[in-house]
Amino acid sequence: MEINRNTIIKDLIETNPETLAVFKKYNLVIAGGVRGPNEPIAFFAKAHEVNYDTLVKELNEAIEKGGGEHIEIPKFEEDKIYEKFIKTAIVLTLSVGVTFGAITLSYIAFKLNFNSVYYALIQAHGHAQIYGWVGLCIMGFALYIIPRVKNTELRHRSLANIIYGFAIIGISIRTVVQPIPYSSIRFLVPISAIFEALAICLFAFVILRTILSSKEKTGVFDKYFKAGIIWFLIATFMNLCMVFHLYRHAIYEIPRNYFSPYVHLYLFGFVLMFIFAINIRTVYAFLDIKPVREKVINLVFLILNISIPIYYITHMLADKYVVAFRFSQFIVFPIGFAFFAFIYGLRIFERSTKELQDIVMDRSYAKTIRTAYLWLIVSAVILLVMPFLGHGTEVQKRFHGSLNHAITVGFITMMIIGYASKMIPTFKGINMHSIKISNLTFILLNFGCFLRVFSQILVGTSGKPVFYAVVGSSGWFELAALSLFGYNLWKTMNTTQETKPSTTTATKKLTEVTKDTKVFDVVDQYPETLQIFLDFGFSQMSSPVMRNTMGRVASIDMATKMHNVDLDKFLKALNDKIAAKS
């Protein structure tokens, strides 16, 4: 099989198993189902910082050396360590998360009053979302991705089920029991926090042991992972203290001046550090842009990790001490600056290097990752405006709710969706179940989030009922978006390379391409012919959507007529390629 930049790794391994050793040397193959990643070689080389030409040279040497000798492909066990975490996160967010949130918003809109809801219920929703949706997603991804980016094995893998079990028990008890005014079962609330703390301590132990066992050179992203783990542990300890406070004083709501800044410590400390770490390590390849500006990324690391504890303490004490209040107003500026600086350091909105422009692959996740950073900009602007709105005023509270939503849905949830839609098909060596549903999810979630964030601000500044109505409708768009995403990802997770209906069996195996052959069948059965389509000017073939749609209806004859390509010359090129393979 002749190797070119669009050669799919799993196809090359299938036809030339001797290439496996080369991929293993570059740690390229441990991801991607049982036969390797469904990724073009050029992309994987950039994502794993391997020189493409060196890689291809070694692959060809392996093929020449290994030619003719039958080498058995070892049966890879598909690593599904992330799956139960992600699936449970989807169930939690679609139940006590977004569905509860949407109902609550409609009730608030009906009452024209944001303070009309029993706040312990809001806190239960908030806890289920930050630990259940975001926490479980990050834990699942980290257990899969960190060993791979650190080129090592996951340490104490057997603890993953215990981590999962303890986390689920803790989150479920807390979400259900905290709002229930029934003293005889209150002892369960501190027990829930103990289960969560045990799960998170074990997770931290496994991840830190894995990172520290790696012989890979330390990257600029490493310290973000480590800081994220430390903030996760600190937030979990705080959660334990707040819950024991609840229990000892027989109250149902955690005092707001504790709860709200703690939510931001959890989001800025643990969640953003992890997301930033993954982005630093992967975005330059995913978006085909230049590597990060390391000096800026290091500066942001310092500013955020110094500012976060000050932010938490000053906001917690702002009601009591004027100094703390003044500091709480000041500290948002370095944090806001850090968000903008990180975007500059990551080059997220910069032009593509075009290094991978000839590569055929699904890039629908790219807009989701970029849009998430647009929402981080919105969050930073709201954060910087808040000190000017009068401490504890209704308008400031509305802005605070909008800030929360811009960060938790606009940035974090969008990033989870963007990365899950890219990474999980890669993990499995298949395509996302439906790109169409991915695009619909993108539109609905952005629309719902836009309505919520900006109409809640307008409720704060004008109080007009019309804006309450908009707020009340926003949650249902977000519920539709996350339901579609949940379905799409669940279907993808339940598909394996084996269960994926291979078209080759469905349609007759092609031995010769004629003018009546469907474009789709040629590329599906002989992926290496894709380059020929591109060389003859069929550029739209670079889009998987076009191949899966137009390609299924267009015959070679139709395609050559549409693009004014010499039919005989094109047929000869295709058949020569196929003959070379057989």
In the complex, the residues that contact ligand HEM under the rule CB under 6 A are 98, 101-102, 104-105, 122, 125-126, 129-130, 133-134, 259-260, 263, 401, 404, 408-409, 412-413, 475, 478
Considering the complex, state which of residue 176 and residue 359 has its C-beta at the smaller distance from ligand HEM: 176
Question: Least CB distance from residue 121 to ligand HEM, whole Å?
Answer: 9
Considering the complex, state which of residue 348 and residue 407 has its C-beta at the smaller distance from ligand HEM: 407
Cβ–Cβ under 8 Å, residues 106 and 98: no
CB environment 493-511: b (16+ within 10 A), e (fewer): bebebeeeeeeeeeeeebe
Question: Least CB distance from residue 102 to ligand HEM, whole Å?
Answer: 5
Residue type, 42: A
CB environment 337-363: b (16+ within 10 A), e (fewer): bbbebbbebbbbeeeeeebbeebbbbb
Element at 315 (helix H, strand E): helix 294-317
Question: Least CB distance from residue 259 to ligand HEM, whole Å?
Answer: 6
Considering the complex, state which of residue 104 and residue 178 has its C-beta at the smaller distance from ligand HEM: 104
Considering the complex, state which of residue 60 and residue 257 has its C-beta at the smaller distance from ligand HEM: 257
Which residues have C-beta within 8 Å of that of residue 139, sequence separation ≥ 6? 85, 163, 167, 203
Cross-strand pairs, 204:
none
Considering the complex, state which of residue 137 and residue 207 has its C-beta at the smaller distance from ligand HEM: 137
Considering the complex, state which of residue 220 and residue 234 has its C-beta at the smaller distance from ligand HEM: 234
CA atoms within 13 A on the CB side of 206: 26
CA atoms within 13 A on the CB side of 290: 9
Question: Least CB distance from residue 160 to ligand HEM, whole Å?
Answer: 22
Question: Least CB distance from residue 472 to ligand HEM, whole Å?
Answer: 10
Question: Least CB distance from residue 105 to ligand HEM, whole Å?
Answer: 5
Considering the complex, state which of residue 122 and residue 331 has its C-beta at the smaller distance from ligand HEM: 122
- DSSP assignment string, 170-203: HHHHHHHHTT---GGGTTHHHHHHHHHHHHHHHH
Question: Least CB distance from residue 445 to ligand HEM, whole Å?
Answer: 8
Phi, psi of 508 (to 5 degrees): -60, 140
Question: Least CB distance from residue 384 to ligand HEM, whole Å?
Answer: 18
Question: Least CB distance from residue 574 to ligand HEM, whole Å?
Answer: 48
Considering the complex, state which of residue 252 and residue 520 has its C-beta at the smaller distance from ligand HEM: 252
Question: Least CB distance from residue 492 to ligand HEM, whole Å?
Answer: 21
Cβ–Cβ under 8 Å, residues 150 and 210: yes
Question: Least CB distance from residue 12 to ligand HEM, whole Å?
Answer: 40
Considering the complex, state which of residue 101 and residue 527 has its C-beta at the smaller distance from ligand HEM: 101
Coil, strand or helix: which one is 36? coil
User: What gap in Å lies between CA 10 and CA 502, rounded to an integer?
Assistant: 14
Cβ–Cβ under 8 Å, residues 192 and 170: yes
Longest dimension (CA), the chain: 84
Per-residue CA distances from 150 to 27, 211, 301 (Å) = 10, 7, 20
User: What gap in Å lies between CA 421 and CA 354, rounded to an integer?
Assistant: 22
Question: Least CB distance from residue 125 to ligand HEM, whole Å?
Answer: 6
Question: Least CB distance from residue 430 to ligand HEM, whole Å?
Answer: 27
Considering the complex, state which of residue 192 and residue 404 has its C-beta at the smaller distance from ligand HEM: 404
**For 19, which DSSP code?**
G
Considering the complex, state which of residue 451 and residue 550 has its C-beta at the smaller distance from ligand HEM: 451
Considering the complex, state which of residue 147 and residue 475 has its C-beta at the smaller distance from ligand HEM: 475
How many other CB atoms sit within 10 Å of the CB of residue 391? 13
Question: Least CB distance from residue 229 to ligand HEM, whole Å?
Answer: 19
Coil, strand or helix: which one is 357? coil
**For 321, which DSSP code?**
-
- DSSP assignment string, 101-159: HHHHHHHHHHHT-GGGS-HHHHHHHHHIIIIIIIIHHHHHHHHHHHHHHTTSPPTTTTH
Cβ–Cβ under 8 Å, residues 42 and 52: yes
Cβ–Cβ under 8 Å, residues 449 and 403: no
- DSSP assignment string, 239-272: HHHHHHHHHHTT-SS--HHHHHHHHHHIIIIIIH
Residue type, 435: I
Per-residue CA distances from 161 to 80, 166, 542 (Å) = 12, 9, 41
Considering the complex, state which of residue 42 and residue 369 has its C-beta at the smaller distance from ligand HEM: 369
Considering the complex, state which of residue 240 and residue 359 has its C-beta at the smaller distance from ligand HEM: 240
